[in-house]
Amino acid sequence: MLRFIVRRLLQAIPTLLILSMLVFIWLRLLPGGPSGALLGDKATPEKIAALNKVLGLDQPLIIQYFKFLGRILSGDFGSSLISGEPVMAEIGRALPATIELSIAALLFAVVLGIPLGYLAASYRGRFLDNVTVIGTLVGVAVPVFFLGILLKQVFAQELALFPPSGRQDVTIDPTHVTNFAVLDGVLTQEWDASADALWHLVLPAIALSSIPLAVIVRITRASVLDVLNEDFVRTANAKGLQATIVRRRHVLRNAMLPVSTTIGLQTGLLLGGAVLTERVFVWGGLGSLLAQGIERRDYPRLQALLLLAAVVYVLVNLLVDISYAIIDPRVRTS
């Protein structure tokens, strides 16, 4: 087993190297370059040329690449051109925001999705079921950013029930411990800050949860319907077991297997949706970092974020392969 893991880890190295090279070359081939971005609007070609020399950007690409590789291997991803702060610090601060939003959306989708799917299946073909089925179709079809804008327009602007954007009110002066705003409020016993963070979470979490919610409802509904038709349910019912016991012990428990797999899959997809949602709600997470990085051509930030995405992708694949290998020993020898 260990040999398998080591082999797979070694295989990941060239993949990451190639990815780093692609990211590096792609960014370097964009016009203007880091110097143009650093010098801003009033950059002249002469100033750009002078700064290129300072930064070593006038050297051959291959030399620049190896220098870049050397730096990232020593953990130096450079500083953001926008904030002048090390990009790893920026990412470290933004990551909790994205995770917090994703968790809230997932919770919302699960807490609402499973009962709704279950109810729809129980009332199959009736009004509630039809409404749910149509609702989930809409949920999947409507783009996240559109839903976000709509929610903001109605609930933040017209009705003024929720804040239109941001993670916390400006009058709150939170103490940052983990950068999970809700958790930080709890840890520091600043309950007001925690509540305010939750309040800010509502609209973006609803927007982001639309797709996972719809998927969870549909899978739960289908799965419950499948189980309801199984022989053992019929037997249990025939034996005269109480309906609630049959539903809880037999139907729900068995129906949950595909649902839990789906939840796992949706978690991965949430991060993609978070990028769009963050943009709409000016959420200070990775999505905002990425969007601003692209707009203002913040090369160090983009490099780090793209590499991070690549590493996560490779690691997830590695974990999946390892888990398969544990489940099915034939994978190890193939």
Partner 1 sequence: MVHSRTARRRWTAAIGLTGVAVLALSACAQSERGGDSGSGKTGGTMVFGAAGEPKNFDPIFNDDGESFRPIRQMYDTLITYKRGTADLAPGLAEKWEPSADGKSWTFTLRKNVKFHDGTPFNAAAVCFNFDRWFNMKGAAAQSQMIYYADVFSGFAKNEGDAAGEPLYKSCEAKDEGTAVLNLNAYKGAFPAAFGLTSFSISSPEALKKYDADNVQQSGDSFAYPAYATEHPTGTGAFKLEKFDKANKTITLVRNDDYWGEKAKLDKLIFKIIPDENARKQELKAGTIDGYDYPNPADYNTLKSDGFNVTPRPAFNILYLGINEANTPALKDLRVRQAIAYAVNREQLVKTKLPAGAEVATQFIPKTVAGYADDVQKYPHDVNKAKELLTQAGATGLTLKFYVPTEVSRPYMPNPTEIAAVITDDLKAAGINVEIVSRPWNGGYKDDVQKLGKHDLHLLGWTGDYNDAGNFVGTFFGRAKAEFGFDDKALFDALSAADAVVDETKHADAYKQVNRDIMSKYLPAVPVSHSPPAIVVSSKISGLVPSPLTDERFDTVSKG
Sites for partner 1 among residues 81-140 (CB under 8 A):
81-86, 90, 93, 97, 104, 107-108, 111-112
Among residues 12 and 95, whose Cβ is nearest to partner 1? 95
Q: 273 or 287, CB closer to partner 1? A: 287
* Closest residue by Cα to residue 196 from 157, 175, 235, 168: 168
Tell me which amino acid residue 94 is: A
Minimum distance from residue 105 beta carbon to partner 1 (Å): 10
CB of 196 or CB of 214, closer to partner 1: 196
Site string for partner 1, 48-67 (x = CB under 8 A): xxxx-xxx-x----------
CA distances from 174 to 90, 92, 157, 282 (A): 18, 18, 25, 18
Q: Is 75 in the site for partner 1 (CB under 8 A)?
A: no
Of 39 and 222, which has the nearer Cβ to partner 1?
39
Contact positions with partner 1 (CB under 8 A) in 161-200 = 161-171, 173-174, 176, 179, 181, 191-192, 195-196, 198-199
Query: Does residue 34 touch partner 1 according to CB under 8 A?
Result: yes
We find the least distance from the C-beta atom of residue 119 to partner 1, in angstroms, to be 12
Would you say how long the chain is, in residues?
Answer: 334
Min CB(168)–partner 1 separation in Å: 5
Q: Which is nearer to partner 1, 22 or 111 (CB)?
A: 111
Interface residue with partner 1 among 117, 221, 299, 314 (CB under 8 A) is: 299
Q: How far is the C-alpha of 21 from the C-alpha of 17, rounded, in Å?
A: 6
Residue 86's DSSP bridge partners are: 79
**Long-range pairs for 190-195 at CB < 8 Å and ≥24 separation?**
193/168
Reading the block at residue 254, the tokens are 């068995």
Distances (CA, A) of 149 to 138, 254, 292, 299: 16, 38, 19, 29
Distance CA 270, CA 213 (A): 11
Q: Number of C-alpha atoms within 13 angstroms, CB side, residue 44?
A: 2
CB of 248 to partner 1, least distance (A): 21
Tell the smallest beta-carbon distance from residue 268 to partner 1 (Å): 23
